[in-house]
Amino acid sequence: MIGALPMALLLIGLLAAAGTLAVIALREGAGRARIHLRAHGVTASGIAGRRGGVLLREPDPLLGGSVRSAADRWLLEHLGLAAGLDARLREAELGMRLAPFVALVLGGVAVLLLGFMLAGAGSAMAALLALAGGGMLPWLLLRTRIARRRKAFERLLPEAIGLMVRGLRAGVPVSETVAEVGAEVIDPVGGAFRRAHEQVLLGQPLETALLAETAALQSPSMAFLIVTISVQRETGGNLAETLDKLDDIMRRRDQMQLKVKAMSSEAKASALIIGSLPIIMAAIMAFVAPDYILPLFTTTAGQVLLGGALLSLGIGGWLMAQLVAFDV
């Protein structure tokens, strides 16, 4: 059991760390905003120019861009998990930097810890539930956001490739077809191609720009597209024909995935029902006979049993998810 004094010190430390990171992030965000407003009259359009009638803008690192804050740099230097978390935040495109996200997680853990302690839960159980809720839940939400972006990217990529094929057959240069995809296709594909086209206008090779903008999504189809463009640039060939075949393969794969999803829907529904039954029964028991289930939360033996039950339920849910998962 954790004593009251260590728990209080832990709570104060969490709140202090969250507050410090939040204050640093807010101060540096306000500083960047002031720099942006002051420089707007001088570099309203960035470093601008025209190439082939297209306005060219180069982002100024002083106006935001990819400059890291001091809090982000400190976390990356001293926190082992910060690098992976920073990569996932960039991949998810939440619009949140590393320091504010860590501050939000720490603040959530502190609030949950205080809430469970006030609710009468034991110190060990309160700490365990606070860490699980405040630490694991944001991580799961982040993974869900990344998975959705990857699925959306894979779903929209055939449309982008088809648009490129039609442009190439009409005699449009490949860089201009990338610009057309950025203008016509919605995000995340449109945004990635749009940013890649901006980098091409700044002098970067097309395949390098596409790789830089889409590497985090880990799309095999996008990797094949980049390799195809690179090979065509070096050796020549009919790029439109190659991309047309890639478009056909991707559409056939999507059809197969939909068939597999329909065939496995019954097994997934069964796994969801079986996995949710213990939680539903516990909620019904808490409503019908709260005195019967209360010892699980108030006694040491009950907390141990509850922890084991949650662990067993989590392992069983993971196993059922693996059994009904099919990769195409």
Q: Of the given ranges (62-76, 95-109, 209-223, 266-280), which has the lowest mean pLDDT?
A: 62-76
1, 123 contact by CB (below 8 A): yes
> In angstroms, rounded to a whole number, what is the distance separating the alpha carbons of residues 63 and 99?
19
- The model's pLDDT over 188-231, given as tens digits with 9 standing for 90+, comes to 888 889 999 999 998 888 888 898 888 877 788 888 888 888 88
- Write out the two tokens for 114: 């205080």
User: Could you tell me the two tokens for 165?
Assistant: 């094929």
Residue 47, judged by CB atoms within 10 A of its CB (0-12, 13-18, 19+), counts as exposed
pLDDT at 60: 37
Banded model confidence at residue 40, pLDDT cuts 50, 70, 90: very low
pLDDT value of position 48 = 37
Query: Residues 108-139: pLDDT tens digits?
Result: 777 777 777 777 666 777 777 777 777 777 77
In this prediction, residue 181 carries a pLDDT of 92
Percentage of the chain surpassing pLDDT 90? 6
Is omega for the bond preceding 138 within 30 degrees of 0, making it cis? no
- In the chain, % of residues over pLDDT 70: 76
Residue 158 has pLDDT above 80, yes or no: yes
| 15-36 confidence digits (pLDDT tens) | 666 556 555 555 554 444 444 4
* Torsion angle of the four alpha carbons 98, 103, 104, 106, in this order, in degrees rounded to the nearest 10: 120
CA dist 27 and 21 (Å) reads 10
pLDDT at residue number 65 = 42
The predicted structure's pLDDT at residue 16 = 63
CA torsion, points 319, 322, 323, 325, in degrees to nearest 10?
Answer: 160
Is residue 10 pLDDT above 70, yes or no? no
Contact 146, 163 (CB under 8 A): no
226-272 pLDDT, tens digit each: 888 888 888 877 888 888 998 898 888 888 888 888 887 887 888 78
Run of H or E including 47: strand 47-51
Please say whether the beta carbons of 105 and 138 come within 8 A.
yes
Segment 97-114 shows an average pLDDT of 78
89 touches 142 (CB < 8 A) = yes
Mean pLDDT comparison of 154-158, 266-270, 297-301, highest-scoring range: 154-158
Report the distance separating Cα 69 and Cα 73, nearest Å.
6
Q: Alpha-carbon distance 62 to 208, whole Å? A: 24
- Residues in the chain, overall count: 328
- Return the bridge partners of 54, or none: 51
Ordered structural domains, the chain, with CATH: 4-60+68-148 (no CATH), 151-262 (1.20.81), 265-323 (no CATH)
Where helices occur in 172-263 by DSSP H, the ranges are: 174-184, 189-201, 206-214, 220-235, 239-263
Instruction: List the end-to-end C-alpha distance of the chain, in Å, as a whole number.
Output: 48
Q: What is the greatest pairwise CA distance in the chain? A: 77
**Pairing mode of beta strands 47-51, 54-58:** antiparallel
Range of lowest pLDDT (6-15, 100-109, 128-137, 297-306): 6-15
The better pLDDT of the pair 2, 313 is held by: 313
Looking at residue 161, what is its pLDDT? 92
Quick one: average pLDDT of 63-71?
56
Lowest-confidence pick of 107-116, 275-284, 313-322: 107-116
Q: How many whole angstroms separate alpha carbon 268 and alpha carbon 266?
A: 5
pLDDT at position 165? 92
Confidence of residue 43 (pLDDT cuts 50, 70, 90): very low
Higher per-residue pLDDT: 48 or 97: 97
Collapse the DSSP code of 4 into the 3-class scheme (helix H, G, I; strand E, B; otherwise coil) and give the result.
helix
Comparing 6-15, 150-159, 259-268, the range with the smallest average pLDDT is 6-15
| Strand, helix or coil for residue 51 | strand
Distance CA 89, CA 17 (A): 20
Mean pLDDT, all residues of the chain: 75
